[in-house]
Structure 1
Amino acid sequence: MDDSALTPQEVADILKIAKNTVYELIKREELNSYRVGKKVRVDMSDVLAYKNRTKSRKETVGSKLPLSQENQRKNGFVLCGQDVILDILSRYLELHPHGIQTFRSYVGSYGGLYALYQGSVQLATAHLWDGDTGEYNIPFVRRMLPGIPAAVIHLACRQQGFYVVKGNLKSVKGWEDLKREDLTIVNREKGSGTRILLDEHLRILGIDSAKIKGYGNECTTHLAVASAVARGTADLGLGNEKSAGQVKDIDFIPMQTEKYELVMKKEDMNKPPFQAVLEILRSPEFRMEIEGIGGYDLKDMGKIRQ
């Protein structure tokens, strides 16, 4: 069993919950931890033990979101996606005069759009690049929500690129390097926007993914990918720039600017909670808080692209 020491942020990424929730679990003695100096650390074995203990529960870890899609439809306003922007948006939405209690579902872009089509979430986010058109999100929304008019609202632009060990010892420069036999990669899970970005570039370049070392090794967050590269278990990973800055001994090679966007059904747009979302995204207060985090281009935040 892997007993590697994890930071609270890495635990949060693995469980797809907020870092503050990790501290709360530790405080309630639901998750074992220890200190190294002033730093809190959690062993991977304790994270796995926690997950196994909670598998039979009816609610997701660290959230009020019911597991069954039927209960989601009946009981909540669900915002789907993984970026910290959405955690902040949820807080603003609950405090807005026309807002609503918001449940978070931490799944990738593809799964989020599918859930929106199924009616089990009210808002989904996406950063899905279509290699044939060079367009983000709109081609996927049209294909994955057939017959459902949908609005695509811009949130932010982010930089996607390669994570390599500090100093870029293997001289990685671009997508063509994925053909090299001396590189081992670590991948994101199927359905994530980052995985689809990689797969689209492989398709365009005619690279057989089966010949790429490490293609089947998957992580569920950008931070986990960057950490794997920093630990030397892979030479290369793909993720956003912000996460690269949170992991020691990682260099970031920018490859592509992506659009991170919110998707809702047009039939819902005039309902109070959805109007509240648009007001929040266009408010100076919300923009200032996101700018304070850094790592985002917010020039067109709140703009309806479709």
Structure 2
Amino acid sequence: MSSDISYTTEEIAKLLKISKLTVYDLIKKGELASYRVGKQMRIDADDLEAYKQRAKSLSASERPAPSFAEQPAAIQAAAPVNGPRPIVITGQDVSLDILAKHMEKQLPGMRPLRAHVGSMDSLIAMYRGEADIVSTHLLDGETGAYNLPYVQRLLVGASYMVVNLLSRNAGLYVRRGNPSELLGWADLGRPGLRFANRERGSGARVLLDEQLRLHGIATGGLLGYDREQTNHLGVAAQVASGHADVGVGSEKAASLVGGIDFIPLIREQYDLVVMKNAASAAWIPDLLRIVRSEAFKGELEAIAGYDLSRTGDILHET
């Protein structure tokens, strides 16, 4: 029976041919019923079918009523909430899992949903109203600044807050002993090097592309440049297995994969971006309190490679 079948958010995204963040957005708006099993969100087959039937019932001539995200702020603030309110947190660093855990424990009216999405796609999702807290580590090669130049370009006209979460080392993954003798960004132009790359829009991909541009290295001649992995561990594993000579990523992932060395080249800034609106006004003070708390920072301090000297600082606010 269909009532015995349930799907993960990833499976729903594949079935409907939409992004996982769009699935979360449907859950947030109450258009797709869901429930939690451990850390995983599940959607019953019956609820999926009910959503599809509602979508089909809208004729081409009918205009659907505005979604919750499209309602005026006053209506959003007064709208009744049945059960915990979903809060979508995007990004791939383990610090975000720790943040979600603290929010769920300390804010019983909230239900954090973790979406493992790259920095650029996270900001685009926030612009579309599909994410509540996004993490970003995007280097602007022209200014040397992290994140704010991208945030200002993508969230034009919006009201938002940028809060530092941590800083961490980024650099090159190389095979144990560094047989290619790579020391810096300029060395990536050497012929014959095999790359393991990240997907477009990720912070590591932007970092690599900016450094290649600044050093005048054309991507067309780089072996494996189009071989994309969806996280740091995937890139590190490609190097460790001998399928690639070099990749770009964070120091933390290098410590989790044997058979590689890490060459630190830059201190990257890992920030949180929060859209300021009627809905978020209720929980932004709690978010700042948690990020600045000794309990939260104490867990991050146990992870090697994190600089917490500015954790919780508001870097920019509109």
- Number of residue equivalences: 254
Q: Radius of gyration: which is bigger? A: 2
- Give the distance between the partners of 1:262 and 1:269, measured in 2 at CA: 17
Q: What is residue 261 of structure 1 aligned with on the other side? A: 271
Q: Determine the C-alpha separation between the residues in 2 that align with 1:226 and 1:166.
A: 11
TM-score normalised by structure 2 residue count: 0.74
Match of 1:67 in 2: 23
Over the aligned positions, Cα root-mean-square deviation in angstroms equals 2.5
Distance 2:272 2:142 in 1: 22
Match of 2:207 among 161, 181, 197: 197
Could you say what secondary structure the match of 2:315 adopts?
Answer: coil
In the alignment, structure 1 residue 174 sits paired with structure 2 residue 184: yes
Partner SS state of residue 192, structure 2: coil
Of 100, 114, 118, the match for 1:108? 118
Does the Cα contact within 8 Å between 2:12 and 2:23 map onto a contact in 1? no
Moved more, 186-195 or 261-270: 261-270
Matching residue's letter, 1:71: I
Question: For the Cα contact (< 8 Å) 1:99–1:272, is it kept in 2?
Answer: no
Shift of 1:58: 10
Partner of 1:232: 242
- Rate the CA distance shift 1:53–1:116 in 2: closer, same or farther, 3 A: closer
Distance 1:300 1:240, change over 3 A: same
* Alignment partner, residue 241 of structure 1: 251
8 A contact 1:128–1:197 mirrored in 2: yes
Structure 2 unmatched runs, 5+ = 1-5, 31-84
Distance of 2:237 and 2:278 partners within structure 1? 40
Name the CA shift for 1:59/1:247 in 2 (closer, same or farther; >3 Å). Answer: same
Find 2:15's aligned residue among 56, 80, 84: 56
> 1:183 aligned to 189, 193, 198, which one?
193
Contact 2:13 2:23 in 1 (8 A): no
The alpha-carbon deviation at position 55 of structure 1 amounts to 3.9
Residue 271 of structure 1: how far off its partner (Å): 2.1
The equivalent position to 1:81 in structure 2, one of 91, 95, 98, is 91
- Residue of structure 2 in register with 1:20 after alignment: none
| Alpha-carbon distance between aligned partners in 1 of 2:17 and 2:198, rounded to the nearest angstrom | 27
Deviation at 1:56, TM superposition (A): 3.1
Aligned 1:16-165 pairs, distance under 5 A: 55-56=14-15, 67=23, 69-74=25-30, 76-97=86-107, 100-165=110-175
Task: Say whether residues 1:278 and 2:237 are aligned partners.
Answer: no
Task: Tell me the residue number matched to 2:299.
Answer: 289
5+ unaligned residues in a row in structure 1: which ranges?
1-29, 31-50
